[in-house]
Amino acid sequence: MEVSALHPLVLGGILSLLAGLCTGMGAAVALFMKRTNTYVLTFALGASAGVMVYISFMELMPTALRKLDGMTGEKWIAMAAFFGGMGLAWIIDLMIPEDENPHEVHDAAELKHVRATGQFSGRENVRRGALLFALAMALHNFPEGMATVAAAFDNTDTALSVAMAVAIHNIPEGIAVALPLMYATGKPGKAFRLATLTGMAEPLGAVICMLILLPYINGLLLACLLGVVSGIMVYISFDELLPMAERWGHHHLSICGVVVGMFIMALTL
């Protein structure tokens, strides 16, 4: 069966599940990293941000505006949806304790220690630190599952683009989650399981989106959803991915990653 022949609900569910599983792929990579390769992680996170920003402004928002074409106040509706998505991501961000927030920048002493030894300084309390860190990433991942389902109702190409962007950034995100968990717990298997579970928040978000929004799907709602998704992805890029990339001190490498990520998506869209 061709991908385009799948029902939007089925397609969105499958894509969100596959994208979520990419977090586990990143966690698996972390198991084989004896030292934290901050250069690879920096570039990968920067590229992930570039992919998400490019898709948001070059794919999702133009599609939303086309669906709103001719409607009264179409630009204001698109703007409200976009900034509403950013506001939603910001509210989710506020729900995470600052100490456990994965994009909070570490101090200079820790950055120096990580670059010199490849290890995180200090050990978190296993029960509190490991679980809250995983929960933080799960909260960030939840709206991405909703984004994939919303895109699936538009068309297959849009859904594939969104899922690709989410999947690409989930791999380095899985590494970033698993490494401190592995160091904190001393149990690679537990770190892998917890990091993988954070990605499962995406298919959960997809299911909730299906249950709530299915009866109301129409052109206007789809346009608003795409605008909201765009705002969420841009916020995640600037508030989560880029700060995570910058934390290791390789500024220019993270910017190169952003450019390369955008260029890749320009070739593939």
CA distance 167 to 183: 25
* Confidence check: pLDDT of 103 > 60: no
- Structure confidence by residue, pLDDT tens digits, 166-192: 888 788 778 767 766 676 667 788 778
| Confidence grade of residue 137 (pLDDT, cut at 50, 70, 90) | low
Domain boundaries, the chain: 15-268
Q: Which amino acid is present at 120?
A: F
- Structure confidence by residue, pLDDT tens digits, 15-71: 888 888 988 888 888 777 655 567 777 887 788 788 888 888 988 888 888 888 878
| Confidence grade of residue 81 (pLDDT, cut at 50, 70, 90) | very high
In this predicted structure, what is the pLDDT of residue 1?
A: 44
CA distance 58 to 6: 25
Q: Contact at 8 Å (CB) between 60 and 226?
A: yes
CA distance 106 to 36: 15
Rounded to two decimals, the pTM is 0.67
Helices 131-152 and 201-213, packing angle to 10 deg: 40
Written as six digits, the tokens of 11 are 């397609």
CA distance 175 to 79: 34
* Confidence check: pLDDT of 78 > 80: yes
